[in-house]
């Protein structure tokens, strides 16, 4: 099972990088984890140490993956 890491900075403190790490078959549960973190508007997603995408929250509250 891969280990996923989501790295993000909360609004207002660009120097404080935070991480959420979890094991799962797929990373789809990360959105619920990000919703519990206030002030997060972008993040990077890593799978077993390899960056696999960037996440950005739109003004409508929808997460976009690039």
Q: What is the Cα–Cα distance from 54 to 39, expressed in whole angstroms?
A: 16
Strand partners, 22: 4
pLDDT tens-digit readout, 1-31: 999 999 998 777 777 888 999 999 998 888 8
Burial 5-43 (b: 16+ CB within 10 A, else e): bbebbeeeeeeeeeebeeeeeebeebeeebeeeeebeeb
Q: What is the Cα–Cα distance from 13 to 9, expressed in whole angstroms?
A: 7
Q: Domain ranges in the chain?
A: 3-65
pLDDT tens-digit readout, 41-57: 889 999 999 999 999 98
0.85 exceeded by pTM: no
Q: What is the Cα–Cα distance from 21 to 7, expressed in whole angstroms?
A: 9
């Amino acid at each position: 099972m891969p280990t996923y890491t989501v790295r993000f900075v909360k609004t207002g403190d660009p120097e404080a990088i935070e991480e959420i790490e979890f094991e799962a078959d797929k990373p789809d549960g990360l959105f619920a984890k990000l919703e519990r973190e206030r002030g997060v508007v972008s993040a990077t997603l890593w799978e077993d140490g390899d960056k696999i995408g960037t996440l950005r929250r739109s003004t409508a509250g929808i997460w976009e993956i690039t």
